[in-house]
Homo-oligomer: A and B are copies of this chain.
Amino acid sequence: MARILIVGGGYIGLYAARHLERRLPTGAHELVMVSPENHMTYQPFLPEVASGLIDPRAVVVPLRSALRRTRLILGEVERIDAESRTARIHLSDGRRREEPFDVAVIGAGSWSRTLPIPGLAEHAVGFKTLPEAIWLRNRVLAQLDTASEAEDVEERRTALGFVFVGAGFAGIEAIGELEDFARAALAAYPPGMASEMRWVVVEATDRILPELDPTLATYAADRLLERGIQIRTDTRLVSIEDGTVRLSDGSSIAAATVVWTAGVRPSPLASASGLPVDDHGRVRVDRTLRVEGIDGLWAAGDVAAVPDPHAPSGYSPPTAQHALRQARTLAENVAALLDGRPPRPFRYRNKGMLCSLGHYRGVADPLGVPIRGFPAWFLHRTYHLVYMPTVGRKVRIALDWTVALLFPRDIAQLGSLEHPRDAFRRSAGS
């Protein structure tokens, strides 16, 4: 009987565990998952959570509900010792524990990739997690509130300035949805604020959406420009200080809100554990997703450099569609080896990219065919709805969309979620 430790509860962890539960005979092996959260977040819908179109609960999958015979430990794996076959876990309650394993599946994912820019850690926020998406929604509304009562024009313009750094998928989808949301919310605010609102996306390379064909990227840029969103290519963020965002072209923008969407880096777990890593810090695996040179260790997703002869870079790109298929191959190979069968290489042909621009527009290249506008936006929604786990969630999201079509946007600002106990402490006089 083997003890299989699954590190991380994201795409790789959840789907590998589900496939293993199906493929391994009941009771034959022990499945243990370590995840910092008790749920998996379906990231493609984060922009729509941020803009309030979807109930936040509908885009998370509770791991305990999704898994039948995997034990869940809430915490984070800090180090994997390949020699002694143990993992050191930092539990959510603060304690540490060593957990032994026979097989480890590493799906530790990625973190925001930041640069040492003055003010970044203090003033910016990422856009990778559900709390960040909800925070950003409340932040936009709080800034509209601040602007509506501002005492001078400078204060008002700073409140109404929003800068997104990084014009890949994450940045473009986030600014597209949130600008649309803010524009709609303004209807309930004193008139005159719309002309002072400023949305800017800053990109270090020479164009937005480098993942896509230039024609589609140009179409996307034109749609955003039409809506008044500014695009600054060949420009880097220099510093953020007290409401002023300085850029590498010498200009500065008055903006109280900065969102960092300039890419991700792999979880530091592989490096910290002394596993073989590439220049980006990704753990090296062979085509069967086995960690190079170490038996019983497997890895996939953003944390791993998965060889892919079809990809331009030679490696599988860090998208949800690839992670889903890697998780499946990984689980099949783990099961095969336990069963004495040989593992098979990971094979998957990119089915194309989908990018929503908000406001019923999008760009996509399914199977290499470029499409844009409403059809691309609609395909984006439909595709992700189909891949959303569980029927209950699909229904809830479809209903949310229907309600959103029929009724005005919801503009309640729930920033006080961050301080749930303040009201009572104040009542109790402490």
Residues of A within 8 A of B (CB): 37-39, 52, 55-57, 60-62, 64-65, 71-74, 91-93, 111-114, 120-122, 124-126, 128-132, 134-135, 141, 145-146, 148-149, 188-190, 260, 265, 390-392, 395-396, 399, 403, 406-408, 410-414, 416-421, 423-430
Contacts and interface: CB of A to CB of B under 8 A. Distances in A.
A19 to B, nearest CB: 19
Contacts of A410: 57, 62, 65, 392
Copies in the complex: 2
B399 A146 contact: no
Name, among A130, A392, A424, A429, the residue most crowded by chain B CB atoms within 10 Å (CB to CB): A424
A190 B418 contact: no
Given A121-B428, A132-B423, 5 more contacts: A64-B411, A74-B149, A112-B427, A112-B428, A396-B403
A226 to B, nearest CB: 27
Contact of A64 (B93, B112, B189): B189
Contacts of A131: 414, 416-417, 419-420, 423
Contacts of A55: 55, 57
A49 to B, nearest CB: 11
A125 B403 contact: no
Contact of A188 (B37, B64, B141, B413): B64
A60 B417 CA distance: 13
Contacts of A424: 112, 114, 121, 124-126, 132, 260
